[in-house]
């Protein structure tokens, strides 16, 4: 090969089947030539192709995998217009929050609800709308980073509210809140933040929602994980035992919280969004705040959430992928693992993930391959989706709990091609 690169056009043509639009390919080829490393173009185009959003198989056994978008929910949209803000009764302007708000209020057995982009926006909106330039009492044990730089004290500052620290890291009692409220005359809210992704163990104590509801200021509970009901009313069999201790929206509100906030892509099992549910006058203030527009979801999310709420209310839990995965029996998974007839069927432990239920494990079953083929699986094979697997002690583990049974054939075909 001589030292002159082939023409840009010629190189770009080589990758016309890559799925990357031509202008982006041209840009990548030019960059490679500028950097004098155009011989490694295959690799660069492949790297670029893998950056694109695409479907994958989750064989990690982490039900709500943060890097795989937590809960997965099918998109069903034909592309026709929708009555997002048109009231079909009157023909005049309606609210995108109206019907969905009723659905979530009903699901949470409370007065009102609204939906925003995620739970972080829910917390930001509430603090901005209900506590601007006022104090918010929060336990020192809950002054946490919830994920990826979302730190409670920072969000508070951003909202214009100020922090009134209560109690100590390991112990905060009702009297501590009372004392803080009395000492700072303009405490306008108590905020309780659920310890979703960590545990404080040992010599600990925290105040109950019930006790804090009596203190005369609005009580907001960020439960985060999105469990609607501790009794799982949508499941005939009641709640699985690994859910024990996780606060439900219904129970938290019934115990006296004025508002609860939670994510819709954790234990709720839906697309990314945040739910605010509770007292109608407080929700009204949130809806009226200018931030509400900045954090409102679009029709794709609203239509998905509406469908999800209908499934809960109709108790069609088998149509909610998260619950279907979570409740598949170990025996059923073992049967599937043995049917694959490739690799070694092994018992495994799945985890809920998504920053929920730390240290909970759900007995599962899957396939073990005796060496590390995680890269090959991630590369994907002909006609099959990339597979994201776990590697432990140099062995590749594929947990079948997080894979839809209809995709077992793809797993088998990929494994056959790789090993
Ligand atoms: C996950 C979580 C959040 C953040 O929710 P996002 O929807 O990711 O913005 C906030 N609070 C609690 C308690 C959480 O568990």
Q: pLDDT tens, 277-303? A: 999 999 999 999 999 999 999 999 999
Closest residue to atom 13 of ligand 1, CA basis: 224
pLDDT at position 202 over 70: yes
150 or 58, which is more confident:
58
Q: In degrees rounded to 5, what are phi and psi of residue 238?
A: 75, -175
Q: In degrees rounded to 5, what are phi and psi of residue 399?
A: -85, 125
Mean pLDDT rounded to a whole number for the chain? 93
pLDDT band for 144, please (50, 70, 90 cuts).
confident
In angstroms, rounded to a whole number, what is the distance separating the alpha carbons of residues 364 and 63?
A: 12
Strand partners, 219: 190
| The pLDDT of residue 5 | 64
Atom of ligand 1 nearest to the CA of 266: 1
In angstroms, rounded to a whole number, what is the distance separating the alpha carbons of residues 275 and 261?
A: 5
| The pLDDT of residue 198 | 73
User: What percent of the chain is predicted at pLDDT more than 70?
Assistant: 99
In angstroms, rounded to a whole number, what is the distance separating the alpha carbons of residues 66 and 72?
A: 11
Token pair of 189, please?
């809210």
pLDDT band for 1, please (50, 70, 90 cuts).
very low
The average pLDDT across 388-413 equals: 97
pLDDT at position 71 over 80: yes
Atom of ligand 1 nearest to the CA of 225: 15
pLDDT at position 152 over 90: no
In angstroms, rounded to a whole number, what is the distance separating the alpha carbons of residues 344 and 419?
A: 13
Atom of ligand 1 nearest to the CA of 123: 10
pLDDT at position 189 over 70: yes
Count of CB atoms situated within 10 Å of the CB of 177: 25
pLDDT at position 201 over 90: no
| The pLDDT of residue 206 | 86
In angstroms, rounded to a whole number, what is the distance separating the alpha carbons of residues 281 and 286?
A: 9
Closest residue to atom 2 of ligand 1, CA basis: 224
pLDDT digits (tens, 9 = 90+) for 121-143: 999 999 999 999 999 999 998 88
Closest residue to atom 1 of ligand 1, CA basis: 224
305 in helix, strand or coil?
Answer: helix
Atom of ligand 1 nearest to the CA of 70: 8
User: For residue 374, how far is the Cα from the chain centroid?
Assistant: 24
Q: In degrees rounded to 5, what are phi and psi of residue 371?
A: -140, 175
The average pLDDT across 253-262 equals: 98
Task: Output the CA 282–ligand 1 centroid distance in Å.
Answer: 20
pLDDT at position 41 over 80: yes
Closest residue to atom 15 of ligand 1, CA basis: 224
| The pLDDT of residue 3 | 58
Q: What angle do CA 179, 183, 185 make, to 5 degrees?
A: 120
Task: Show the ligand 1 pocket: residues with CB < 6 angstroms.
Answer: 118-120, 146-147, 193-194, 196, 222, 224-225, 263, 274, 355
E strands, 7-127, are 57-58, 62-64, 112-116
Atom of ligand 1 nearest to the CA of 194: 13
> Exposed (0-12), middle (13-18) or buried (19+): which is 282, by Cβ within 10 Å?
buried
In angstroms, rounded to a whole number, what is the distance separating the alpha carbons of residues 403 and 407?
A: 7
Report whether 122 contacts 259 (CB < 8 A): no
Task: Output the CA 262–ligand 1 centroid distance in Å.
Answer: 7
In angstroms, rounded to a whole number, what is the distance separating the alpha carbons of residues 39 and 192?
A: 57
| The pLDDT of residue 87 | 96
Pocket test for ligand 1, best of 127, 141, 142, 150 (most atoms within 8 A of CB): 150
């Amino acid at each position: 090969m001589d030292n002159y690169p082939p023409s840009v056009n010629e190189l770009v043509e080589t990758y016309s089947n890559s799925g990357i639009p031509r202008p982006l390919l041209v840009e990548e080829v030019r960059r490679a030539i500028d950097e004098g490393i155009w011989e490694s173009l295959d690799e660069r185009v492949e790297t670029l192709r893998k950056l694109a959003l695409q479907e994958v198989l989750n064989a990690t056994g982490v039900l709500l995998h943060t890097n795989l978008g937590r809960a997965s929910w099918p998109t069903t949209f034909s592309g026709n217009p929708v009555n997002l803000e048109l009231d079909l009764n009157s023909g005049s302007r309606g609210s995108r929050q109206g019907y969905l708000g009723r659905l979530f209020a009903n699901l949470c057995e409370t007065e009102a609800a609204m939906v925003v982009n995620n739970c972080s926006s829910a917390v930001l909106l509430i603090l901005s709308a209900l506590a601007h330039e006022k104090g918010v009492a929060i336990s020192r044990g809950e002054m946490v980073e919830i994920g990826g730089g979302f730190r409670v004290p920072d969000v508070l500052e951003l909202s214009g509210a100020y922090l009134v620290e209560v109690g100590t890291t390991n112990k905060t009692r009702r009297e501590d809140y009372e004392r803080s409220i009395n000492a700072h005359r303009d405490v306008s809210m108590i905020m309780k933040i659920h310890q979703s992704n960590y545990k404080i163990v040992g010599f600990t104590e925290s105040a109950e929602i019930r006790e804090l509801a009596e203190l005369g200021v609005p009580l907001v509970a960020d439960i985060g994980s999105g469990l609607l009901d501790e009794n799982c009313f949508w499941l005939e069999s009641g709640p699985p035992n690994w859910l024990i201790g996780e606060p439900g929206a219904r129970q938290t509100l019934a115990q006296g919280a004025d508002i609860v906030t939670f994510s819709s892509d954790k234990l709720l099992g839906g697309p990314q969004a945040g739910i605010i549910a509770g007292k109608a006058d407080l929700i009204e203030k949130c809806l009226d705040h200018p931030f509400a527009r900045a954090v409102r979801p679009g029709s794709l999310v609203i239509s998905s959430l509406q469908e999800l709420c209908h499934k809960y209310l109709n108790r069609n839990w088998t149509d909610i992928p998260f619950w279907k995965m979570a409740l598949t029996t170990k025996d059923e998974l073992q049967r599937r693992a043995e049917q694959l007839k490739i690799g070694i069927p092994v018992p495994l432990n799945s985890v809920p993930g998504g920053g929920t239920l730390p240290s909970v494990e759900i007995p599962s079953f899957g396939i073990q391959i005796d060496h590390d083929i995680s890269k090959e699986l991630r590369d994907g094979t002909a006609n099959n989706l990339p597979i994201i697997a776990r590697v432990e002690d140099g062995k590749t583990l594929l947990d079948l709990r997080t894979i839809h049974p209809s995709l077992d054939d793809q797993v088998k075909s990929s494994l056959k091609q790789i090993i």
